[in-house]
């Protein structure tokens, strides 16, 4: 009886294991979708509220002609959101759902790229590393254009690979047109994708695929001409903002050691931060360094053995080199560009996590590489077989590396998703409290979209142009972004007013100021 029960349990486990292997891609994406639903209804923050108010207030034409000139972003994402919200509404979940769908679609393209470069196993793990990357998870829950551009970049890269793996004269016209279509859509979605687009053309030129490069540039010219009047106006407005808004360049991203270091840290641990900073940097920096050490050591180990093992040549070697090129080159171009116009913020480069994930997919194939080396009779490298066997059983084993990467990414993602202190600014609770106040409210008008979204009937006065002599006896100051605009309102108010109370929410504060009766007398 016990033996039958044992055999039945083993059979059921084997059957379940077979089902999991059969449907592992579907299960991967189902799990990725599920975790993206956690805390999806958290409060919108400033930029998301700007998206909501723009698509709610402006028509399709007005988004292009009235809203976009002062927004510094291309209009395509807002047009997509205008259509989406017309069907599904303006709730937090409705506004964020397109980003979730775009991030999942990007994950699918990463899977297809990995499969195209090497095999389904690399594709699967590259997709897993991408889908659970904490920065990708964070921005897949944000009603902004970052997930959309990440998808278009991934799609472009897929068709790009299909093109370069064929002879120039045999290039499929459909693949070429789709690659260029997604290049144009990327640029129309997010201008910083230009760093990636430039890398595409640079790679084609360096590989002497001149016709493909020239044709691609030629196809891109007409869409660029169409958007150039808007782009010119946005550039002019950006220059004005840099002059008028005191600390605007720091928001955009000056070239600094901090902004450079934050790129790999945020790419591996996500958007969150916490106090004390020394612990945060120890944990996030240590996690980043461990991943970088594995990534750097991989090509070194390959270089030691690749001349002796034919399995390490061909498309595998070429695929890793291409991926490294597109992971590094847009950063270099962006860094150079930021010396002239500040753009060096890590979130603007998050589409590079596509390439990071594919590289990690290759890295997770350590085990199979070492196995082949150990079996190859031609390998002789200082007792190489013994070293290889040790490597296979050491920390570099395939299963261990994959486990560490995936569990690490999921842990950082869940840390953000589950704990409210890591969530976005709590404008929802903030607005509910503000609505109860009776005194006039002063803040930076350009930063008031969240308050307009959650408390549309609240009247807002400008903190930039107020006259201290014409204020009422009691006022409320919302200091949000006042430091960026260089407005030291406390100095202006201190002779006539005193701050009676400061009320804080998550990442937000408002202050109650009362007239100083002593000075009045």
Three-class SS string for 197-265? HHHHHHHHHHCCCHHHHHHHHHHHHHHHHHHHHHHHHHHHHHHHHHHHCCCHHHHHCCCCHHHHHHHHH
In a domain, 191, yes or no: yes
CA–CA separation, 200 vs 194, rounded Å?
10
In a domain, 504, yes or no: yes
CA–CA separation, 354 vs 342, rounded Å?
24
The crossing angle, in degrees rounded to 10, of helices 277-305 and 366-375 is: 30
Cβ atoms of residues 358 and 113 within 8 Å: yes
In a domain, 1, yes or no: no
Q: For 516, what's the count of Cα atoms within 13 Å in the CB-facing half-sphere?
A: 11
DSSP symbol at 64: I
For 208, counting Cβ atoms within 10 Å of its Cβ (0-12 exposed, 13-18 middle, 19+ buried), the class is exposed
In a domain, 4, yes or no: no
Indicate if 484 and 415 belong to the same structural domain: no
β 474-477/441-443 pair status:
parallel
Per-residue pLDDT 10s for the chain (521 aa) are 555 555 555 555 555 556 666 778 999 999 999 999 999 999 999 999 999 999 999 999 999 999 999 888 999 999 999 999 999 999 999 999 999 999 999 999 999 998 888 778 889 999 999 999 999 999 999 999 999 999 999 999 999 999 887 766 667 789 899 999 999 999 999 999 999 999 999 999 998 888 899 999 999 999 999 999 999 998 888 888 777 777 767 667 788 888 899 999 999 999 998 888 899 989 998 999 888 877 666 555 554 444 444 343 445 556 778 999 999 999 999 999 988 888 889 999 999 999 999 998 887 665 444 444 444 444 444 444 454 454 444 444 667 778 889 999 999 999 999 999 999 999 999 999 999 988 999 999 999 999 999 999 999 999 988 888 888 889 999 999 988 888 888 888 888 888 999 999 998 999 999 988 765 54
How many other CB atoms are there within 10 angstroms of residue 303's CB atom? 10
Q: Where among 422, 451, 473 does a domain terminate?
A: 422
DSSP symbol at 508: E
Indicate if 224 and 92 belong to the same structural domain: yes
Domains in the chain: how many in total? 2
Q: Where among 389, 422, 455 does a domain terminate?
A: 422
Indicate if 180 and 230 belong to the same structural domain: yes
- The parent domain of residue 489 ranges over 427-520
* Longest distance between any two alpha carbons in the chain, whole Å: 98
Token pair 């991030």 is at which residue? Answer: 103
End-to-end CA distance of the chain: 97
Q: If you compute the radius of gyration of the chain from its CA atoms, what whole number of angstroms results?
A: 27
Phi, psi of 406 (to 5 degrees): -70, -50
Token pair 């923050």 is at which residue? Answer: 45
Indicate if 136 and 180 belong to the same structural domain: yes
* C-alpha distances out from residue 396 to 295, 352, 371, 379, 406, Å: 11, 25, 12, 19, 15
For 180, counting Cβ atoms within 10 Å of its Cβ (0-12 exposed, 13-18 middle, 19+ buried), the class is buried
CA–CA separation, 491 vs 9, rounded Å?
75
Indicate if 461 and 407 belong to the same structural domain: no
Indicate if 411 and 494 belong to the same structural domain: no
How many angstroms from the chain centroid is the CA of residue 51? Answer: 17
Structure tokens at 37: 């639903």
In a domain, 237, yes or no: yes
How many other CB atoms are there within 10 angstroms of residue 27's CB atom? 13
Indicate if 329 and 417 belong to the same structural domain: yes
Indicate if 350 and 475 belong to the same structural domain: no
In a domain, 316, yes or no: no
Structure tokens at 414: 């869940």
Indicate if 327 and 449 belong to the same structural domain: no
CA–CA separation, 396 vs 171, rounded Å?
39
DSSP symbol at 141: T
Indicate if 33 and 155 belong to the same structural domain: yes
Q: For 293, what's the count of Cα atoms within 13 Å in the CB-facing half-sphere?
A: 9
Indicate if 418 and 431 belong to the same structural domain: no
Angle value at C-alpha 73, between 60 and 101, nearest 5 degrees: 75
Q: Where among 422, 452, 474 does a domain terminate?
A: 422
Which residues are 505's β-sheet partners? 508
In a domain, 397, yes or no: no
Helices and strands per DSSP (H, E), number in the chain: 24, 5
Structure tokens at 435: 């609505």
Cβ atoms of residues 175 and 163 within 8 Å: yes
Indicate if 192 and 47 belong to the same structural domain: yes
Side by side, the strands of the sheet bearing 497-505 are: 460-462, 441-443, 474-477, 508-515, 497-505
In a domain, 222, yes or no: yes
Token pair 């976009």 is at which residue? Answer: 68
């Amino acid at each position: 009886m016990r033996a039958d029960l044992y055999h039945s349990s083993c059979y059921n486990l084997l059957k379940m294991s077979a089902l999991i292997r059969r449907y592992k891609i579907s299960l991967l994406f189902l799990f990725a979708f599920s975790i993206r639903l956690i805390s999806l209804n958290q409060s919108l923050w400033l930029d998301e509220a700007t998206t909501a108010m723009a698509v709610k207030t402006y028509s399709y034409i007005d988004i292009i002609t009235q809203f976009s000139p002062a927004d510094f972003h291309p209009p395509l994402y807002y047009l997509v959101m205008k259509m989406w919200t017309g069907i599904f509404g303006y709730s937090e979940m409705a506004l964020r759902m397109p980003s979730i769908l775009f991030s999942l679609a990007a994950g699918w393209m990463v899977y297809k790229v990995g499969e195209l470069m090497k095999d389904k196993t690399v594709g699967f793990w590259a997709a897993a590393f991408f889908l659970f990357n904490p920065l990708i998870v964070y921005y897949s829950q944000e009603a902004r254009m970052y997930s959309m551009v990440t998808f278009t970049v991934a799609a472009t890269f897929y068709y790009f690979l299909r093109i370069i793996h064929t002879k120039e004269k045999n290039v499929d016209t459909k693949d070429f047109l789709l690659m260029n279509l997604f290049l144009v859509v990327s640029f129309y979605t997010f201008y910083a994708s230009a760093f990636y687009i430039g890398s595409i053309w640079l790679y084609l030129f360096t590989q002497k695929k001149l016709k493909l490069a020239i044709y691609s540039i030629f196809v891109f010219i007409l869409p660029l001409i169409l958007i150039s009047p808007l782009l010119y106006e946005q550039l002019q407005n950006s220059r004005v903002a840099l002059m008028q808004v005191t600390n605007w360049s720091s928001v955009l991203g000056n070239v600094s050691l901090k902004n450079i270091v934050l790129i790999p840290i945020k790419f591996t641990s996500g958007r969150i931060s916490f106090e004390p900073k020394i612990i945060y940097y120890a944990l996030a920096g240590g996690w980043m360094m461990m991943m970088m050490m594995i990534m750097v050591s991989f090509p070194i180990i390959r270089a030691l053995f690749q001349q002796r093992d034919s399995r390490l040549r061909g498309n595998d070697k070429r695929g890793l080199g291409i991926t490294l090129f597109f992971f590094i080159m847009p950063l270099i171009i962006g860094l150079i560009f930021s010396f002239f116009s500040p753009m060096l913020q890590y979130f603007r480069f998050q589409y590079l996590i596509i390439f990071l994930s594919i590289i990690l997919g290759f890295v997770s194939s350590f085990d199979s590489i070492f196995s082949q080396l150990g079996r190859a009779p031609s390998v002789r490298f200082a007792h190489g077989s013994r070293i290889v066997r040790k490597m296979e059983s050491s920390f570099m084993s395939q299963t261990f590396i994959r486990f560490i990467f995936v569990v690490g990414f999921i842990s950082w993602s869940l840390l953000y998703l589950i704990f409210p202190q890591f969530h976005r600014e709590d404008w929802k609770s903030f607005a509910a409290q503000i609505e109860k106040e009776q005194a006039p409210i002063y803040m930076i008008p350009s930063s008031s979209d969240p308050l307009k979204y959650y408390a549309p009937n609240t009247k807002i006065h400008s903190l930039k142009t107020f006259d201290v002599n014409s204020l009422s006896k009691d006022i409320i100051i919302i200091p949000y972004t006042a430091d960026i605009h260089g407005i030291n309102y406390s100095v202006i108010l201190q002779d006539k007013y005193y701050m009676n109370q400061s009320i804080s929410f998550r990442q937000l504060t408002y202050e109650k100021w009362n007239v100083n009766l002593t000075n009045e007398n």
